[in-house]
């Protein structure tokens, strides 16, 4: 008998734990009601790992992540660890996972649920039906470029250094992912950089264009400067289908795109590596939002982004697209029925706690599959 698929859960810090508690309910539901069963294990990352091991990601945890069929991460960071040395901050745990698992393609869908159109800071007509996919390069660029550091100068000043650097292969492999995704969507890729100012941006533009000419010209490719893209996202967001961009610009643009949909608390993401000889691809799934220390531990958080991240895992890592659909449809129904956590609360809706939202979702799953 084939063994179960493995899932490593890393709740992390802040609201990560309470959100993950709700995912556990969905995982149990999949096991009980759909016979979709996972070998679930749990470990520490971020501040939680610092408190236990003195480092934001223990080597054993890294090894387990490399072994797992998929990793589901909550969130990392919080004021408690803000003053630690840069090299052992909670965020370094997350960055180490991305780097050592070689998760170079970060998929951040910005999808506006009909029921949440009013929650957006933009006019309803601008965001209703919005469906953008941001493909963010995740293991290169200024996040990892060398040299980096803070150095003392002879004149008594200090100098902070980071390096924006991309190679041909780094650009091509993530662009490939964007073209493939566009093919299953509206067939359009907008590649975003600052080719007017940065050589790495110019190289990005040239390599993406070249790859487009090598068998991808069924896709409509356009290029845009990152500053313009940030403006266009809040002007006419629906002009975009797939946005392809580097690590830093992707970090910024994905927060903007997320807010268009009403709340950061709604958006999942998938980080994927390349497909190996056995057809397996390393993957980590995480909500786009952070650890929200201000509401952590109060059972107020919106668990839907983390639950939707698990749905993405079902689709991209476990080949259970049907179950992923079921979760996504149940979330849409819940929202339509006016169930809300505080971040997306609106007049006439029913305010739920984090755990109530988890329970409500499980009931919806029951109904949907009855």
Measured CA to CA, the distance from residue 9 to residue 12 in angstroms comes to 9
105 near ligand IPM (CB under 6 A): no
Measured CA to CA, the distance from residue 174 to residue 274 in angstroms comes to 9
Q: Is 253 helix (H, G, I), strand (E, B) or coil?
A: helix
Least separation, in Å, of the C-beta of 251 and Mg ion? 4
Q: Out of 193, 251, 328, 343, name the contact with ligand IPM by CB under 6 A.
A: 251
Q: Do the strands 131-137 and 105-111 form a parallel or antiparallel pair, or are they unpaired?
A: antiparallel
Least separation, in Å, of the C-beta of 85 and ligand IPM? 16
Residue nearest to ligand IPM (CB): 91
Least separation, in Å, of the C-beta of 253 and ligand IPM? 10
DSSP secondary structure string, 53-94?
HSSSS-HHHHHHHHHSSEEEEEE---GGGTTS-GGGSHHHHH
Nearer to ligand IPM, 17 or 349 (CB): 17
Measured CA to CA, the distance from residue 260 to residue 126 in angstroms comes to 9
Candidates 87-95, 248-256, 319-327, 334-342; binding stretch for Mg ion (CB under 5 A): 248-256
Of residues 148-207, which lie at the interface with ligand IPM (CB under 6 A)? none
323 near ligand IPM (CB under 6 A): no
318 is catalytic: no
Nearer to ligand IPM, 30 or 90 (CB): 90
Measured CA to CA, the distance from residue 137 to residue 175 in angstroms comes to 9
255 is catalytic: yes
251 is catalytic: yes
Least separation, in Å, of the C-beta of 94 and ligand IPM? 5
Measured CA to CA, the distance from residue 239 to residue 228 in angstroms comes to 13
Q: Which of 59, 218, 227, 294 is catalytic?
A: 227
How far is the CA of 356 from the CAs of 96, 115, 339, in angstroms? 34, 19, 10
286 near Mg ion (CB under 5 A): no
Measured CA to CA, the distance from residue 311 to residue 321 in angstroms comes to 8
Peptide bond before residue 147 is cis, with ω within 30 degrees of 0: yes
313 near ligand IPM (CB under 6 A): no
143 is catalytic: yes
Nearer to ligand IPM, 89 or 315 (CB): 89
343 near ligand IPM (CB under 6 A): no
Nearer to ligand IPM, 29 or 56 (CB): 56
Least separation, in Å, of the C-beta of 287 and ligand IPM? 9
Tokens matching residue 325: 């659909």
Measured CA to CA, the distance from residue 204 to residue 238 in angstroms comes to 24
By rule CB under 6 A, what count of residues binds ligand IPM?
3
Interaction pattern, residues 85-104, with ligand IPM; x per rule: CB under 6 A: ------x--x----------
Least separation, in Å, of the C-beta of 227 and ligand IPM? 19
Contact between 20 and 306 under an 8 Å Cβ cutoff? The reply is yes
By rule CB under 5 A, what count of residues binds Mg ion?
1
Candidates 46-54, 163-171, 243-251, 303-311; binding stretch for Mg ion (CB under 5 A): 243-251
How far is the CA of 187 from the CAs of 177, 180, 209, in angstroms? 13, 9, 15
227 is catalytic: yes
Nearer to ligand IPM, 284 or 307 (CB): 284
Contact between 283 and 317 under an 8 Å Cβ cutoff? The reply is yes
Nearer to ligand IPM, 91 or 186 (CB): 91
70 near ligand IPM (CB under 6 A): no
Q: Which of 5, 194, 339, 364 is catalytic?
A: 194
Q: Where are the alpha helices (DSSP H) in the chain?
A: 16-34, 47-53, 59-67, 90-100, 124-127, 168-183, 199-213, 226-235, 247-260, 304-316, 321-336, 354-368
Active centre residues (catalytic) = 143, 194, 227, 251, 255
Residue ranges binding Mg ion (CB under 5 A): 251
Residue ranges binding ligand IPM (CB under 6 A): 91, 94, 251
């Amino acid at each position: 008998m084939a063994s179960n698929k493995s899932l490593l859960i890393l709740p992390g810090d802040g609201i990560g734990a309470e959100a993950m508690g709700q995912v556990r309910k969905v995982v149990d539901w999949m096991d009980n009601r759909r016979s979709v069963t996972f070998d679930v294990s749990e470990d520490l990352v971020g501040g939680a790992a610092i408190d236990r091991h003195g480092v934001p990601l223990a080597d054993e945890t890294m090894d387990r992540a490399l072994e797992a069929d998929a990793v589901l991460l909550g969130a990392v960071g919080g004021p408690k660890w803000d003053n630690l040395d840069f090299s052992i901050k909670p965020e370094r745990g997350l960055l180490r996972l991305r780097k050592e698992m070689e998760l170079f393609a970060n998929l951040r869908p910005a999808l506006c649920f009909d029921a949440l159109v009013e929650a957006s800071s933009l006019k309803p007509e601008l965001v209703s039906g919005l469906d953008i996919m941001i493909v963010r390069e995740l293991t290169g660029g200024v996040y990892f470029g060398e040299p980096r550091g803070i150095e003392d100068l002879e004149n008594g000043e200090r100098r902070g250094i980071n390096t924006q650097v991309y190679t041909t292969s780094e650009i091509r492999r993530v662009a490939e992912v964007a073209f493939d995704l566009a093919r299953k969507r509206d067939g359009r890729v907008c590649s975003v950089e600052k080719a007017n100012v940065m050589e790495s941006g110019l190289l990005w533009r040239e390599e993406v264009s070249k790859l487009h000419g090598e068998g991808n010209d069924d896709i409509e490719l356009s290029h845009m400067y990152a500053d313009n893209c940030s403006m266009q996202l809040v002007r006419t967001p629906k002009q975009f289908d797939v946005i392809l961009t580097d690590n830093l610009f992707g970090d910024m643009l994905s927060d903007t795109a997320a807010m268009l949909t009403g709340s950061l608390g709604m958006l999942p993401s998938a980080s994927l590596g390349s497909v190996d000889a056995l057809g397996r691809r390393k993957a980590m799934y995480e909500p786009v939002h952070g650890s929200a220390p201000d509401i952590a531990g109060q059972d107020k958080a919106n668990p839907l982004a983390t639950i939707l991240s698990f749905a993405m895992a079902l689709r991209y890592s476990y080949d259970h697209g049907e179950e992923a659909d079921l979760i996504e449809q149940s979330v849409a129904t819940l929202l339509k029925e006016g169930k809300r956590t505080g971040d997306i609360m609106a007049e006439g809706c029913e305010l739920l706690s984090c755990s109530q939202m988890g329970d409500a979702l499980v009931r919806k799953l029951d109904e949907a599959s009855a």
